């Protein structure tokens, strides 16, 4: 009897790629063993390294950093960098299905960039998807994947505008979703409004009024990649399909596990799109 593989099993099988890359890294290290030290240092300083190279270097130089540590890092990055973005994309498409006028505006922006062509989206193209980025950020404001954060205080911390002091070692639970629904920061916070992230409105708010990717030294290291990948995925999808739904915002119920998801999934109807500007359809 066929039994589908669990996500963990698939991840573990993928880790064979890590061993192959580790062998390649070891061979490369051998090839440069006779290169002058100053040349190696210069190369290290001026070349960007992928995550695996950094992990392999740690493994090579620190006896306490094991192969198991490398595997754990890779599984964490794969999980954190894929499932999280997938959930946000699902919420984003649901929002566009509910708000057809916003979907039309997103599509018009996409059409103005790509027209009716099938060219592959480039990094430069992603910078032009300004309104789509506002839509994604508004999705993250309302339905961020990690609504709670835990932080250990490293030194006594006085709470602003009060006499309360949190002692060093205290574990604090932070609630970004409460910040995101604060009406002093976001008027009518229960409505989906991408204009919350127009340049003018962003400039009016505190830099930490939007913390979907956390912030400071413990902020998400993959935030830029996540935004790029979501813009590529959503724009590519909308170039070819439109989404529709009978749901309303008030129908959405949330559940919190390791990440926040929709209780009832993301029910949308997908229709092939006729690649023309929206106004030609009306």
The closest alpha carbon to 67, from 15, 7, 114, belongs to 15
* pLDDT over 90 (residue 22): no
Q: What is the C-alpha separation between 128 and 130, in angstroms, rounded?
A: 5
If you average pLDDT over every residue of the chain, what do you get?
A: 83
- Which structural domains are found in the chain, ordered by start? 7-65 (no CATH), 74-281 (1.10.630.10)
Cα 278–chain centre separation: 29
Residue 151 — pLDDT band, cuts 50, 70, 90? confident
Q: What is the C-alpha separation between 3 and 163, in angstroms, rounded?
A: 59
The closest alpha carbon to 191, from 254, 144, 250, belongs to 250
Residue 15 — pLDDT band, cuts 50, 70, 90? low
Q: What is the C-alpha separation between 177 and 89, in angstroms, rounded?
A: 18
Q: Residue 69: what pLDDT? A: 76
Q: What is the C-alpha separation between 270 and 236, in angstroms, rounded?
A: 14
Q: Residue 37: what pLDDT? A: 47
Percent above pLDDT 90 for the chain: 49
The closest alpha carbon to 239, from 282, 268, 275, 270, belongs to 275
* pLDDT over 70 (residue 4): no
* pLDDT over 60 (residue 279): no
Give the pLDDT confidence of 220-257 residue by residue, as tens digits: 777 888 899 999 999 999 999 999 999 999 999 999 87
Beta strands in the chain (DSSP E): 149-152, 157-158, 165-166, 171-174, 241-244, 254-256, 260-262, 269-272
Higher pLDDT, 214 or 18: 214
| Residue 40: other Cβ atoms inside 10 A | 13
Higher pLDDT, 157 or 217: 157
Q: How crowded is the C-beta side of 74, counted as CA atoms within 13 Å?
A: 25
Give the pLDDT confidence of 64-104 residue by residue, as tens digits: 777 777 777 776 666 666 788 999 999 999 999 999 999 99
CB 166 within 8 A of CB 140: no
Residue 137 — pLDDT band, cuts 50, 70, 90? very high
CB 243 within 8 A of CB 99: no
Give the pLDDT confidence of 24-70 residue by residue, as tens digits: 777 776 665 554 444 444 444 444 456 677 777 777 777 777 777 77
Q: What is the C-alpha separation between 181 and 202, in angstroms, rounded?
A: 15
Give the pLDDT confidence of 192-208 residue by residue, as tens digits: 999 999 999 999 999 99
Q: What pTM does this model have?
A: 0.75
* pLDDT over 90 (residue 185): yes
């Amino acid at each position: 009897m066929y039994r589908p593989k669990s996500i963990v099993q698939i991840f573990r099988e993928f880790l064979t790629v890590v061993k192959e890359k580790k062998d390649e890294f070891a061979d490369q290290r051998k090839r440069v063993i006779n290169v002058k030290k100053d040349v190696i240092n210069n190369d290290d300083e001026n070349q960007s390294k992928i995550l695996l190279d950094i992990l392999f270097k740690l493994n090579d130089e620190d006896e306490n950093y094991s192969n198991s540590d490398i595997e754990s890092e890779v599984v964490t990055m794969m999980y954190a960098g894929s499932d999280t973005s997938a959930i946000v994309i699902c919420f984003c498409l649901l929002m566009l299905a509910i708000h057809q006028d916003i979907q039309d505006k997103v599509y018009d922006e996409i059409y103005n960039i790509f027209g009716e062509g099938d060219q592959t989206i480039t990094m430069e193209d992603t910078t032009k998807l300004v309104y789509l980025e506002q839509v994604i950020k508004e999705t993250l404001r309302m339905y961020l994947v990690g609504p709670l954060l835990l932080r250990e205080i490293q030194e006594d911390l006085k709470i602003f505008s009060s006499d309360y002091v949190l002692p060093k070692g205290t574990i604090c639970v932070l609630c970004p979703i409460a910040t995101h629904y604060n009406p002093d920061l976001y008027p009518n916070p229960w409505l989906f409004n991408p204009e919350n992230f127009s340049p003018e409105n962003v400039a009016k708010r505190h830099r930490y009024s939007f913390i979907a990717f956390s912030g400071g030294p413990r902020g998400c290291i993959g935030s830029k990649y996540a935004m790029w990948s979501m813009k590529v995925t959503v724009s590519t999808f909308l170039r070819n399909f439109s989404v529709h739904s009978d749901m309303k915002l008030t129908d959405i119920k949330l559940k919190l596990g390791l990440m926040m998801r929709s209780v009832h999934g993301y029910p949308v109807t997908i229709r092939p799109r006729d690649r023309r500007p929206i106004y030609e359809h009306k």
